[in-house]
Amino acid sequence: MTSRPPSDITAGLLAALAAFIAWGLLPVYWKAVQDVAPLEILCHRILWSLVFIAAILSCKHRWAETFAPLRSPRNLLILSLSSLTIACNWLIYIWAVNNGNVLATSLGYYINPLVNVLFGFLFFRERLNPLQTTAIGLAALGVANSVIGYGEFPWISLTLAVTFACYGLLRKIAAVESLPGLFLETMVLAPAALLYVLHLQAAGRSGFLAGNSHIDLLLIGAGAATALPLIGFAFGARRLRLTTVGLLQYIAPSIAFSLGIFVYNEPFGPTHLLTFALIWSGLALYTIDSIRAIRRHRRTRTMVDRTPEATTTVPTDPAPKGREP
């Protein structure tokens, strides 16, 4: 990472904080429109996100960049799959929140980083070190404890974790930036979403334009609620160290966890506590391992930069070789 002025780092930190806090408070937003069916909420989220992001892309003159990936059949296929994956994730999240399962969503996003590690092992042949293996094992114990304690498979948490990890995997291999990518994904989903909304309107079963302007505004605002945190995250991620971003990612599920217990009074007994404790222990090991890996990388970069080849300059090239100009 190139050095940045403190003001730039501060701006990045504030933007990333705002993004994760906004994601953590999303249950409050969806609870405010819980009288509307989850599938209809999802459709409005897709449609108004498309409109909102289109306005941003127009202001930034990024249309050429946005549609360039569509020239590749491979990118088109990947974005179609990522569209379906994120739609599934959004629908389950909205349904879970509005059916009293905020704690389950929190657990899902705590598990997600560990699923990412497992996917790295399965799909990219990344070797698991002892700390990573132990972290994944603790997460598995947490899931097993939930099954044994309540006799129920934690499908909400695991589905959210796996679908979001699949989404991250697909976006990792797609040659597209975050905001243009989200526009293309919502564009893929928009025709079906629009048809469903029009069907509800024709059948008189729509929660939109049904006489409640408060609900109407919240459904329209779902586009901004979706896009703005993403913009803040992208802004912050470009200016912060990976370690910092990795630690900040726990803010959102922590806020949801607090909302589930202290605001929505969801059941939280000893079995829940043990499940979360096992997941938190796994995350602690994962975080320690991530910090160590980044420090090792920095030490390696420093040693390379200090070699004679790295510090020797060529008259026609003012930038030292081995360093970022």
SS3 201: helix
Q: What is the pLDDT of residue 172?
A: 84
User: Which two three-digit tokens encode residue 20?
Assistant: 């994760």
Rounded-to-integer distance, Cα 233 and Cα 8, Å: 14
From its phi and psi, is residue 152 left (phi > 0), alpha (psi between -120 and 50) or beta? beta
Q: How many CB atoms lie within 10 A of CB 220?
A: 15
- Find the mean pLDDT for residues 237-249: 80
User: Which two three-digit tokens encode residue 171?
Assistant: 């976006």
Q: What is the pLDDT of residue 307?
A: 62
DSSP secondary-structure letter at 72?
S
Comparing 11-25, 75-89, 237-251, which segment has the lowest mean pLDDT? 237-251
User: Which two three-digit tokens encode residue 78?
Assistant: 């990947």
| Per-position b or e across 294-308, b if 16+ CB within 10 A of its CB | eeeeeeeeeeeeeee
Q: What is the pLDDT of residue 58?
A: 96
Taking only the tens place, the pLDDT of each residue in 308-320 is 555 544 454 444 4
Rounded-to-integer distance, Cα 290 and Cα 284, Å: 10
How would residue 306 be classed by pLDDT, with cut points 50, 70 and 90?
low
How would residue 126 be classed by pLDDT, with cut points 50, 70 and 90?
confident
- How far apart are the two ends of the chain, measured CA to CA in Å? 11
Which residues lie below 8 Å from residue 135, measured CB to CB, with a gap of 6+?
Answer: 114, 117, 282, 283, 285, 286, 289
Question: Could you tell me which of 112, 153, 107, 114 has the C-alpha nearest to residue 137?
Answer: 114
User: Which two three-digit tokens encode residue 123?
Assistant: 């799909």
Q: Phi and psi for 52 in degrees, rounded to 5?
A: -65, -45
pLDDT over 70 percentage in the chain: 91
Taking only the tens place, the pLDDT of each residue in 27-49 is 999 999 999 999 999 999 999 99
DSSP secondary-structure letter at 126?
P
Radius of gyration of the chain (CA): 22
Taking only the tens place, the pLDDT of each residue in 175-187 is 788 889 999 999 9
pLDDT over 90 percentage in the chain: 60
Rounded-to-integer distance, Cα 35 and Cα 89, Å: 20
Torsion of CA 51, 109, 169, 52, to 10 degrees: 10
DSSP 3-63: ---HHHHHHHHHHHHHHHHHHHTHHHHHHTTTTS-HHHHHHHHHHHHHHHHHHHHHHHT-H
- 23: pLDDT strictly greater than 80: yes
C-alpha pair distances (Å), 173 with each of 63, 82, 124, 146, 176: 21, 11, 11, 34, 9
Rounded-to-integer distance, Cα 44 and Cα 190, Å: 9
Q: Tell me the pTM.
A: 0.86
Q: What is the pLDDT of residue 183?
A: 95
Rounded-to-integer distance, Cα 230 and Cα 225, Å: 9
Q: Position of tokens 């599938």?
A: 39
SS3 240: coil
Amino acid at 10: T
Rounded-to-integer distance, Cα 260 and Cα 98, Å: 11
Q: Position of tokens 């657990």?
A: 107
Which residues lie below 8 Å from residue 120, measured CB to CB, with a gap of 6+?
Answer: 126
Burial of 42 (0-12, 13-18, 19+ CB in 10 A): buried
